[in-house]
Structure 1
Amino acid sequence: MRSHTSLQVRLPVLIFVMEIVMLVLYSFFVTYDDNGNAKLQNNQTDPMENSLYRDYPYFADVQVMIFVGFGCLLAFCRFYGFSGMVFNFLTAAFSIQWAILFACAVVLISYGAVLGKTSPVQLVVMAALEIPVFAVTEWAVLKYIRINDAGGTILIHLFACYFGLGVTFVLYRPCLNSGHPKETTSYHSDILSVMGTLFLWVFWPSFNSALTFKGDDQHRAVLHTFIGLSSSTITAFALSAMFNKRGKLTMADIQNVTLAGGVTVGASVDMMISPAAAFALGIMGCTACFFGYKYLTPFMAKRLRIQDQCGIHNLHGLTGIISSTAGICAILLATEETYGPSLYQIFSHRAPPEGDPKLLELQQLIPGLKPGLGRTAKEQALFQLAAVFATIAASTVGGLLTGLMMNLKFMASPSDEDCFDDELFFDLELSDTACHGIISAVSFYSE
């Protein structure tokens, strides 16, 4: 009856083929950089200046977010905890091979839109196709449009969100609009999900600051992220109690809405926006995210055929748009009076071009400053806006095409009845036996 979802042939064949392809690509195109190449080390090299000691703490923090934070957060469904965590593990590990670190977050955010209604075969295919689309989009935006996006608001959050929505649009299941009997939570699954939220909350400053300039830029990024997260968290508690008919807190709000501030400050996280602005952005992002979950998600499912299972449009899409708007405003307001010479380091595209006398003056103040494009604040703001629309368009089209591929019959897609059920893809006999044993023992002693 469930032979069409059997993983015995589909998953191993797909993974082994992909691993062989990956091994060949690594053999030809992946090598050590200067910090990992033994030939470049000599008696004048200071081992403590290796980039490992600067970057590894951020790398480790982001790994905790990817594997523990996202994994636990996606385990909120009562009968889908194994799948939420384990499929996250599978997808993350494959995505890291395919993209080496940050693009992995893109795939896992998109995964939230199709949680519970896809097979591991479909998820591996989704990761395999999303990473190249992301890489091409990132290359085009950074090379030709050239933007500031320290926290990954445009190229991570917005891209992942609209790619995931494109996929779930194609995988639309009408019967899920009225709910599914197994799409429920339990006391323990909600606790596990909140643990994921806490891991993401604690390590989000590392995520937002990892790619910023070292020093005061990175300091501001950590500060702004921490303030934005704290204000969005407090606001989420207030809104949750206010709009609950019984005046109680809703676990879904605590699990998701509290994180909105981390996204909302992303586009301007390393800029001189002031702590008060970061605080306000946290509140704005939380409010948009909360009402998105409450009103927009049901509307999109019923009217637009977009079943956003984890509400990624609220946590990453709406907040990403607010963040991008805030980043554009910060760019328009950035002046030498506020930033000093470092203006041209943070906003590198505004630096004078090669041959400009002012460039020589600035290079004396900031050694190593590279020539820029000589853009004005207004020009850079317009390029930021263009990047937002280009990224949303590219990710949506990529998501739609990927969804068509995932919808093919041999992808082991679960039936409507089997959605949100671990039993479809996991051997639960041992777990069931253990549970029956515990129940029997409790019954025996209670008698």
Structure 2
Amino acid sequence: MRSRTSLQVRLPMLIFALEIVMLVLYSLFVTYDDNANAKMQNNETNPMENSMYRDYPYFADVQVMIFVGFGCLLAFFRFYGFSGMVFNFLTAAFAIQWATLIQGFFQFYYDGKIHVGVINLLNAEFACAVVLISYGAVLGKTSPVQLVVMALLEIPVFAVTEWAVLKYIRINDAGGTILIHLFACYFGLGVTFVLYRPSLNSGHAKEVTSYNSDILSVMGTLFLWVFWPSFNSALTFKGDDQHRAILHTFIGLSSSTITAFALSAMFNKRGKLTMADIQNVTLAGGVTVGASVDMMISPAAAFALGIMGCTACFFGYKYLTPFMARRLRIQDQCGIHNLHGLTGLISSTAGICAILLATEETYGPSLYQIFSHRAPPEGDPKLAELRQLIPGLKPGLGRTAKEQALFQLAAVFATIAASAVGGVLTGFVMKLKFMASPSDEDCFDDELFFDVPSDFDTGIVLKMEKILDEKSQSIPMNITKDQ
């Protein structure tokens, strides 16, 4: 059985083949953008005006979220810490390489070349975040070969969806609620639907946490929490828009965190805190403010959105996740539907409401920068008037608030449909026999794919715990364990 999951041939062949293909493509199509090209610089060029100084701080923050935040957060299983962190590392590194190339063809391709700068890497990391969120749905049940294949297939589907939604539907989605969180969630659910394992619905002996693994996972939560304002604001307009995005994200995160502690204690039968709630539910506010994060929604609205997202996420973990596993054949291992799906739908609704309520009285002339689709089209006399107030204002589509709200709604349904179909098709590819998929009994176990240290023995640990549990149950009720 273990030979069926051996990585000795499968993983090297897949990686070397992909790296050779990418090396050829990078050689043929990738060059520097103007800010990284020595030919474009001269004695009068001010190096401090280079876009690197504007984009790199956000890139660095998102780097921490991707490699440290997600990595630690996914290491919450007691016997799956190596896999949770290391497979995250492998998948993320590959996804960023691949996304830089694939997104480049849609966003940065001209003169027959993809022009690469720090902004490309930042966009690629958002695409990488999509893959890692989807990974959460199949955590513990997949091999590294399957995860690389998932990234290989998900990135193009995401890039096409992103391009189509932004170019043709034209929406406001500064925090990536629709194109990151909703896409990643329903793609991951599509994959796990196909990879359904009936025996895991009744639980698994190794599907447990430990004191140390829970601490490590909370560290991942803290890294994500601290850097989430950078994630939500990285691609917003510089200035007041970005300022609002940072404020709203922090307010939403803080309100969801406080609410999570209250709900965790309230609904625990013994009135105690549950670590799973602290690790996941506290982050809900970062997603819920995403669709309206750069808009004039008011700090109070951001506060309320954090509470709403946290509440939906909490009850989703408690009731919806078990229901989906039993009734819908969707085993959402990390509850991504709660943290990214339910909160994403709330956020999208809030964004639509904010668009409907947006007026010149509230925003001033900058209304047509934030909601560029509402700017008058080329040739409209009002566009000339606005350009006197906002030099360089680009022509828009002349949409009304109601029209834009309908386009936002269309983008939500289109994104969910595209991601779900893509996830199902990807799941069928990942299910092929040569993908080194672990057996049911080998799920959630590092030993299947790693040379583990001598102090790692799941069999002995689980056997000792069973013996201790049987002994504790044999103690008469009127006698304590200490006695």
Same fold (TM over 0.5): yes
Give the drift of 1:435. 26
Give the drift of 1:364. 1.3
Q: 1:434 to 1:300 in 2, by over 3 A?
A: closer
Deviations 1:313-350 (A, max 9, x none): 00000000000000000000000000000000000000
Give the drift of 1:363. 1.1
Give the drift of 1:32. 1.0
Q: 1:79 to 1:388 in 2, by over 3 A?
A: same
Deviations 1:71-92 (A, max 9, x none): 0000000000000000000000
- For structure 2, the residue ranges without an aligned partner over 5 or more in a row are 100-125, 453-465
Deviates most, 30-39 or 87-96? 30-39
Secondary structure, in 3 states, of the residue corresponding to 2:476?
helix
Secondary structure, in 3 states, of the residue corresponding to 1:439?
coil
Q: 1:8 to 1:370 in 2, by over 3 A?
A: same
Deviations 1:347-404 (A, max 9, x none): 0000000000110111111111100000000000000000000000000000000000
Deviations 1:256-311 (A, max 9, x none): 00000000000000000000000000000000000000000000000000000000
Give the drift of 1:406. 0.1
Secondary structure, in 3 states, of the residue corresponding to 1:181?
coil
Q: 1:171 to 1:73 in 2, by over 3 A?
A: same
Distance 2:54 2:265 in 1: 42
Give the drift of 1:28. 1.9
Secondary structure, in 3 states, of the residue corresponding to 1:117?
coil
Equivalent position to 1:316, from 340, 350, 355: 340
Give the drift of 1:195. 0.1
Q: TM-score, normalised by structure 2?
A: 0.88
Q: 1:228 to 1:397 in 2, by over 3 A?
A: same
Query: Percent identical across equivalent pairs?
Result: 90
Distance 1:413 1:378 in 2: 48
Q: CA RMSD in A?
A: 5.1
Distance 2:477 2:76 in 1: 27
Give the drift of 1:432. 24
Deviations 1:197-234 (A, max 9, x none): 00000000000000000000000000000000000000
Give the drift of 1:119. 0.1
Match of 1:197 in 2: 221
Secondary structure, in 3 states, of the residue corresponding to 2:477?
helix
Q: 1:276 to 1:432 in 2, by over 3 A?
A: closer
Aligned length: 443
Q: 1:436 to 1:77 in 2, by over 3 A?
A: farther
Q: 1:363 to 1:187 in 2, by over 3 A?
A: same
- For structure 1, the residue ranges without an aligned partner over 5 or more in a row are none
Secondary structure, in 3 states, of the residue corresponding to 1:31?
strand
Deviations 1:398-423 (A, max 9, x none): 00000000000000000000000000
Secondary structure, in 3 states, of the residue corresponding to 2:218?
helix
Q: 1:442 to 1:244 in 2, by over 3 A?
A: closer
Distance 1:29 1:64 in 2: 29
Q: TM-score, normalised by structure 1?
A: 0.95
Match of 2:9 in 1: 9
Give the drift of 1:26. 1.0
The reply on whether 1:400 has 2:400 as its aligned counterpart is no
Distance 2:44 2:399 in 1: 41
Q: 1:340 to 1:416 in 2, by over 3 A?
A: same
Give the drift of 1:437. 33
Q: 1:77 to 1:434 in 2, by over 3 A?
A: farther
Deviations 1:47-67 (A, max 9, x none): 000011111000000000000
Give the drift of 1:436. 29
Give the drift of 1:25. 1.4
Give the drift of 1:33. 1.0
Distance 1:32 1:433 in 2: 65
